[in-house]
């Protein structure tokens, strides 16, 4: 048997040959589709560039001064990553509150979501930066000087708090949907095993809910990278601050705004790619 | 206790953080605090060249006492920055900068995030409710400009009843309407019953004046440096007589500061008077504006503001 098998080259097996041909064909079709898509992107990018070149700008200036703006990328990413982590924590608790039957938890999360989603992020930033220290002053007069220090946040801390609170409120709905998407049988099974509510959440529900939550959180992260520009009003030298203040210096507004826009765009492209990789990883267990 | 509730955990974390904070060293007032710290933390928004702008590619000073979220003196440049550096030098401390947006500075209630604003802030009544002002370190003079070909106007009072252009909601408009009040200064309105011609900005008014003598406007009232730079740009206009009033630009401290800010602003006022007396400010003004805008601020009577 072994000898006969080895003597027959794979090409001579008609079924295998047909299968390989099909695979090759499918691969070719996919390649052609990719090339077509690439051409469309290239044409669109060329049109966009041509349009931008119609602006009365000096591309050399933009190139020469992009480095100064690039030095703000770390701050933008840092603020966004820390904020999305805190926001995820807030959103988890917010969602648990919404789903809970405890009136206090329900009330707290309901009011939180309502107030934060009902007011602009910019005004929240102002309140946290300007308003909180004034509450701290009152506490100090009441005899709690340490609390006063906590209420007086630096620029970056205030920005992170505002972004976290804001995105936490929006992400509460994402987390709620994720938690609810896990089948009811899972809750019952965990309860039957005698798990406490925390154990149930940590070991059974969250691992399944995370897979549903992750893509939307990635979306929020991409949006947050741009909203983090608001911390520039408190004087944090991130991408927007650097671009804007440099523009003021030499009156090159369009140039520097364009530089900032391109940097944000590249950040978004990279984030989207990371997000799709994470999604694939999360989906492993469910693939056939 | 088998498990901790999350609320309790957060509370414990807060208590831990508060417990770890070192007790604040008691300094009697803001000036003492600044001298003890060895740094003067100054707010400036580098959005207003030539007062304040950032320096591209500057490295942080090597052995600075400034905190990590503050900027060292070489990372910024401009007239305000030079004045600040000199004030700090004469105080015997290092100048460190923070760069919040302008409206956060004039809002007051700085929560001791910075000590002082040295940012070309005009002294006005509403701002005096939140801030204490120092001796002004320079001025924005307001002057009339007429077309270069005009020979009939000799002095500002000759413009009574004429068509005068200005930017809307500026001090120039209030002056012409006779409702301008400048804290600490008394002046008389020398132009009677002008025909008011408001513009979006002073620059459009100057453009219209440049069309020809009396074509659309007989004169424009604007900042002397604005007119001077228009002339430098080739507009056929000239200044008519001396400035008619001055706006005073000063340093400011937060009235709601944690420690008494009055000794600090008094000390800074003293230093600014010295810098007027020895010509430092006039020289810096020449360097950045090509005009001596500083000297008229030397005679300003700070006590007339009755701030303390």
Give pLDDT tens digits for A103-148: 999 999 999 999 999 999 999 999 999 999 989 888 888 888 888 8
Rounded (10°) angle between helices A73-99 and A239-250:
140
Token duo for residue A113? 């979501």
Determine the structural domain holding residue A226 and report its residue range.
68-179+210-285
Total structural domains in chain B? 2
Identify whether residues A31 and A163 lie together within a single domain: no
- The ipTM is 0.77
The CATH number of residue B204's host domain is 3.40.190.10
- Domain assignment present for residue A174? The answer is yes
Restricting to B residues 49-68, those with a Cβ less than 8 Å away from any Cβ of A are 49, 53-54, 56-57
Buried b (16+ CB within 10 A) or exposed e, A126-160: bebbbebbeebbebbeeeebbbbbbbbbbbbbbbb
**Residue A166 main-chain phi, psi, to 5 deg:** -65, -55
Residues of B in contact with A241 (CB under 8 A): 99
Identify whether residues A35 and A137 lie together within a single domain: no
In the predicted structure, residue A273 carries a pLDDT above the cut 70: yes
Residues of A in contact with B72 (CB under 8 A): none
Total structural domains in chain A? 2
Token duo for residue B63? 């052995």
Residue in chain B closest to A251 (alpha carbons) equals B49
| Domain boundary residue, one of B247, B265, B293 | B247
- Given this model, what pLDDT does residue A55 score? 83
- Domain assignment present for residue B15? The answer is no
- Given this model, what pLDDT does residue B303 score? 94
Q: CA B190 → CA A223, B90, B226, B291, distances in Å?
A: 57, 41, 21, 24
Identify whether residues B130 and B180 lie together within a single domain: no
Name residues of chain B where pLDDT drops below 70. 1-26
- Domain assignment present for residue A281? The answer is yes
Identify whether residues A99 and A156 lie together within a single domain: yes
Identify whether residues B260 and B121 lie together within a single domain: yes
Identify whether residues B241 and B157 lie together within a single domain: yes
Residues of B in contact with A237 (CB under 8 A): 99
Identify whether residues B228 and B241 lie together within a single domain: yes
Q: Which residues pair with A153 in a beta bridge?
A: none
Which residue, among B113, B119, B130, would best test binding to A if mutated, counting the most A CBs under 10 Å from its CB? B113
State the CB neighbour count (10 A cutoff) for residue B38.
Answer: 13
- Domain assignment present for residue A273? The answer is yes
Distance CA A251, CA A249 (A): 6
Quote the pTM value: 0.81
Determine the structural domain holding residue B196 and report its residue range.
140-247
DSSP B19-73: HHSPPPP--SSHHHHHHHHTEEEEE--TTBTTTBEE-TTPPPPTT--S-TTSEEG
In the predicted structure, residue A266 carries a pLDDT above the cut 90: yes
- Domain assignment present for residue B7? The answer is no
pLDDT tens profile A136-156: 888 888 888 888 888 889 899
Q: CB contact, 8 Å: B227 with chain A?
A: no
- Domain assignment present for residue B162? The answer is yes
Identify whether residues A229 and A260 lie together within a single domain: yes
Identify whether residues A144 and A102 lie together within a single domain: yes
The CATH number of residue A164's host domain is 1.10.3720.10
Q: CB contact, 8 Å: B112 with chain A?
A: yes
Dihedral-angle region of residue A143 (phi above 0 means left; psi in -120 to 50 means alpha; beta otherwise): left
CA gyration radius for chain A? 27
- Given this model, what pLDDT does residue B16 score? 52
Place of tokens 């047909």: A18
| Domain boundary residue, one of B207, B224, B247 | B247
Distance CA B67, CA B61 (A): 12
Restricting to B residues 69-98, those with a Cβ less than 8 Å away from any Cβ of A are 69, 98
Identify whether residues B177 and B235 lie together within a single domain: yes
Q: CA A109 → CA A83, A100, A169, A202, distances in Å?
A: 19, 10, 9, 20
Identify whether residues B154 and B113 lie together within a single domain: no
Identify whether residues A23 and A75 lie together within a single domain: no
């Amino acid at each position: 048997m072994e000898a006969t098998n080895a003597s027959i080259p794979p090409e001579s097996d008609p079924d295998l040959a047909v299968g390989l041909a099909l695979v090759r064909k499918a691969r070719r079709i996919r390649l052609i589709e990719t090339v077509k898509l690439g051409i469309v992107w290239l044409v669109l990018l060329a049109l966009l560039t041509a349009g931008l070149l119609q602006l009365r700008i000096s591309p050399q200036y933009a190139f020469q001064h992009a480095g100064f703006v690039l030095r703000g990328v770390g701050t933008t990413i840092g603020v966004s990553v820390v904020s999305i982590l805190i926001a995820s924590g807030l959103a988890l608790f917010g969602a648990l509150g919404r789903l809970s039957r405890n009136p206090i938890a329900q009330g707290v999360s309901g009011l939180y979501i309502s107030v934060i989603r009902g007011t602009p992020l910019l005004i929240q930033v102002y309140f946290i930066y300007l308003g909180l220290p004034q509450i701290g002053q009152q506490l100090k007069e009441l005899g709690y000087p340490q609390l006063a220090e906590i209420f007086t946040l630096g620029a970056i801390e205030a920005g992170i708090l505002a972004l976290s609170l804001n995105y936490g409120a929006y992400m509460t709905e994402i987390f709620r949907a994720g938690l609810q998407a896990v089948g009811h049988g899972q809750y019952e099974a965990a309860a039957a095993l005698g798990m406490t509510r925390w154990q149930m959440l940590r070991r059974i529900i969250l691992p399944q809910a995370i897979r549903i939550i992750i893509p939307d959180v990635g979306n929020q992260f991409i949006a947050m990278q741009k909203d983090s520009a608001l911390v520039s009003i408190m004087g944090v030298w991130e991408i927007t601050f650097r671009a804007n203040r440099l523009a003021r210096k030499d009156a090159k507004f369009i140039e520097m705004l364009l530089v900032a826009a391109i940097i944000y765009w590249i950040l978004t492209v990279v984030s989207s790619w990371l997000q799709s990789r994470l999604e694939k990883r999360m989906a492993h267990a469910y693939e056939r | 206790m088998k498990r901790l509730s999350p609320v309790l955990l957060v509370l414990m974390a807060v208590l831990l953080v508060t417990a770890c904070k070192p007790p604040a060293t008691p300094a009697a007032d803001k000036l003492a605090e600044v001298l003890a710290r060895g740094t003067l933390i100054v707010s400036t928004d580098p959005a207003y060249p030539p007062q304040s702008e950032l320096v591209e590619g500057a490295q942080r000073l090597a052995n600075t006492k400034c905190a990590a979220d503050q900027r060292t003196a070489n990372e910024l440049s401009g007239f305000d920055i030079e004045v600040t550096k000199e004030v700090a030098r004469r105080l015997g401390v290092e100048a460190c900068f923070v760069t919040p947006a302008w409206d956060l500075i004039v809002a007051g209630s700085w929560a001791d995030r910075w000590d002082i604003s040295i940012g070309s802030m005009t002294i006005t009544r509403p701002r005096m409710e939140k801030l204490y002002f120092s001796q002004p370190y320079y001025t924005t003079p307001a002057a009339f400009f007429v077309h270069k070909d005009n020979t009939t106007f000799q002095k500002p009072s000759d413009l009574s009843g004429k068509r005068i252009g200005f930017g809307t909601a500026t001090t120039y408009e209030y002056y012409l309407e006779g409702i301008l009040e400048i804290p600490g200064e008394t002046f008389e309105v020398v132009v009677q019953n002008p025909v008011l011609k408001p513009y979006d900005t002073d620059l459009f008014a100057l453009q219209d004046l440049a069309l020809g003598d009396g074509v659309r406007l007989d004169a424009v009232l604007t900042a002397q440096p604005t007119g001077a730079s228009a002339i430098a740009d080739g507009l056929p206009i000239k200044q008519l007589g001396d400035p008619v009033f001055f706006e005073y630009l000063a340093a400011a401290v937060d009235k709601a500061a944690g420690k008494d800010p009055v000794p600090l602003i008094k000390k800074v006022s003293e230093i600014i008077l010295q810098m007027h007396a020895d010509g430092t400010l006039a020289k810096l003004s020449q360097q950045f504006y090509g005009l001596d805008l500083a000297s008229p601020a030397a005679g300003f009577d700070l006590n007339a503001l009755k701030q303390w």
